[in-house]
């Protein structure tokens, strides 16, 4: 089993962070993992994306042209990467910022207003965690309880953010229905 996930959006949306958290969670579950970050020269506002490859055997190449899944946090990312997703994959669309569908009938499209959900939690910066949790809940790529432990670990140096981010996980799971 090998799954590839592309996370894409604007710099400053926490794209690389959620890729790192997913990679960490998969490692904790005993999988082989590759995490490849990529971003433009301007961190905030430029494009940022990363690929996470999760496998139950050694990964031959971490470079992926056609991921199985996509988490698109902005419209340019959806338009650029949705056509490359393999059939039967999951495409999470941040419907707070994206007003179009992915245009694919052969994938499981999940539209979640992640920014709106995060704002209701009191911090729009938690939108990335809402998106990650919704994607994980729909794809079942790793267990939610393992994801929660890795979110706690990621924010241990900023302990006051742990409750917010755990609530963001819960809301993301709920939104995935």
Rounded distance between C-alpha atoms, residue 120 and residue 115, angstroms:
9
Lowest mean pLDDT among 22-26, 101-105, 128-132: 101-105
> 149-152 contacts: CB < 8 A, separation 24 or more?
149/25, 149/28, 150/21, 150/24, 150/25, 150/28, 151/21
Tally the domains of the chain: 1
Q: pLDDT by residue (tens digit) across 45-67?
A: 677 899 999 999 999 888 889 99
Q: pLDDT by residue (tens digit) across 83-126?
A: 999 999 999 999 999 999 999 999 999 999 999 999 999 999 99
Helix (H) or strand (E) holding 47: strand 47-55
CATH code where residue 113 lies: 3.40.920.10
The whole domain housing 16 covers 2-176
Portion of the chain with pLDDT greater than 70, in percent:
95
pLDDT at 11: 85
Average pLDDT for the chain: 94
């Amino acid at each position: 089993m090998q799954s590839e996930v592309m996370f894409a959006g604007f710099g400053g949306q926490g794209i690389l962070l959620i890729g790192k958290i997913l990679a960490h969670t998969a490692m904790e579950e005993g999988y082989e993992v590759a995490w490849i970050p990529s971003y433009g020269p301007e961190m905030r506002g430029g494009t940022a994306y990363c690929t996470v490859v999760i496998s139950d055997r050694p990964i031959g190449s971490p470079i992926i042209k056609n991921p199985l899944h996509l988490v698109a946090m902005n419209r340019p990312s959806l338009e650029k990467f949705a056509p490359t997703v393999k059939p039967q994959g999951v495409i999470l669309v941040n419907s707070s910022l994206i007003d179009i569908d992915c245009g694919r009938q052969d994938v499981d499209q999940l539209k979640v207003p992640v920014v709106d959900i995060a704002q209701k939690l009191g911090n729009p910066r938690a939108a990335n965690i809402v998106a990650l949790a919704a994607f994980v809940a729909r794809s079942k790529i790793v267990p939610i309880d393992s994801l929660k432990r890795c979110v706690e670990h990621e924010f241990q140096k900023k302990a006051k953010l742990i409750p917010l981010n755990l609530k963001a996980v819960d809301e993301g799971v709920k939104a995935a229905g």
